[in-house]
Structures are given as structure tokens and as C-alpha cells.
A = this chain, B = another copy of it.
Amino acid sequence: MCDTCGCNEKEGVKRIYRIQERITKSNEEIAEKNRAYFLKNGITAVNIISAPGSGKTTLLEKTIEALGDRIKIAVFEGDIETTLDAERIKNKGAFAIQLTTGGACHLDAQLVHKAIHEIEKMEEPPKLLFIENVGNLVCPASFDLGETLRAVMVSVAEGDDKPLKYPKAFKTSQVFIISKTDLLPHFDFSIEKAKEYALSLNPELKVFALSAKTGEGFDEWIAFLEELTSS
């Protein structure tokens, strides 16, 4: 009990934890359904998590340019309100579905599940599905969407300490993308430090450092996706 005002701090915190547990459990059940669907239909689903403005949509535009003629690609575009990003993806010729969360700060398995029903209407299902999460380095890390692979992205404009400050996204991902490397001369960002911090949290992470603008480091990323979808 807090002596100044009589509020019961501990009880309030416990209540919120109980509520969070219930939300998480319900999400996990639907995520398993999504995962089973992807597996059954040979779809590699990549959940991309980053802060706002790290360049998720630009990465996807360039990836579609590089791979879209060889591999059937679809994109689920997570946004809170606008449909700007889905329009950008459609302009590149890929199948895109906008998932608008209406205020929520992350995609959840249920929203992805609804979008799967749209994929079922496609003549030929995609081989590679990108799920662009809401721009947020925190909450999306707690919500399994049933994805095959999770990629966390940080741009060099954000600072190399981000893995330490937002560890869950790094602990739960298999891939770490450092983006906008063409801007390195203007920022005090060390790729080595960012890698070291990220690998200290999760030694299994596969790291890519790339610039969607200049194409630097992009070949490795494309080769990785090709191998991922060929198996």
C-alpha cells in the first residue's frame, strides 16, 4: 500500500498481468491455426518488425522488384489507420492486403487470420508472404502471428543501442536487418556494436546490413529469401 495516497500499487499491477495473460493465450491459439495453414500450403511467411520509419515498405518494394518475377509474393500491410503502404506495394505488382488495426499498436494472429481468407481466393497462392507489422519495436514482439520467420529491422538513423533497449524483438527473431546503410557517414552508428548487442541477446540471429536505396548488401538478402522459399 502506498503511504501517500492509499493506492494499492501491487494489486493493480497483478490485475494487469492477469489480463495480459488472457489476451496472449487467445492469440497463441489462432497463431497455431495460421502456422498450420502456411505449412500446409507451402507459404513462407515473414513477419517484419521495426520502429516507424525504418524503411520496411521500401525494403519490400525493392525485394518485390528483385524477386517478384521468379517467386509469387503477397504482402499483408499492417497499419493503424492509412492505406498508403498497401498502395505502394500494389504499384510494384504484388498482391497486397491492408490490415488496419484501428488504433491497436501491433498485428495479432486474428487480423492475420482474416487476411488468410483473402489469400484463399487467389488463383495461385503465394510462395512468399511478407507481413509488415505496425511500426513499433515493442508490442509486435509479444504477438505470434503464426509466421515462419520473424525479422527485426533497425535503421542506422535510430542508434546502435536499440537491441539492448528493445530486447524482446531481438530475442524472438531469427533475422536482424540493419537498414539505410548508405546513411552511415551521417550517423554515429556502429554496425559492429549493433551486431554484438543483438547477438549477445540471441546468438542464432542471421544479420543483414543493407541499403534499399543503393542496393548495397541486397544480394545476400535476396539469396537468403530464395533459399528459404526453395526448401
Interface of A with B (CB < 8 Å)? Answer: 2, 4-5, 7, 9, 12-13, 15-16, 19, 22-23, 26, 30, 33, 51-53, 79-82, 84, 103, 105, 110, 113-114, 116-117, 120, 134-139, 142, 154-155, 157-159, 161-162, 164-168, 183, 186
A50 CB → nearest B CB, Å:
9
Residue in B7, B9, B15, B137 whose beta carbon sits within 8 Å of that of A135 in the complex: B137
Kindly state the separation between the CA atoms of A139 and B143 in the bound complex, as whole angstroms: 15
Q: Are A53 and B157 in contact (CB under 8 A)?
A: yes
Number of copies: 2
Taking a contact as CB atoms under 8 Å apart, the answer to whether B84 and A165 are in contact is yes
- Please tell me if the beta carbons of A84 and B4 are within 8 angstroms of each other in the complex: no
Using CB atoms, name the residue of chain B closest to A18: B19
Residue pair A4, B135 in contact (C-beta under 8 Å): no
Is the pair B26, A15 in contact by a Cβ cutoff of 8 Å?
Answer: yes
Q: Is the CB of B162 within 8 A of A52?
A: yes
State how many angstroms separate the Cβ of A121 from the closest Cβ of chain B.
Answer: 11
For A2, the chain B residues whose CB sits under 8 A away are 113-114, 117
Distance in angstroms from A74 CB to nearest chain B CB is 17
The 3 A-B pairs with the shortest beta carbon distances in the complex, nearest first, are A53-B158, A157-B157, A105-B138
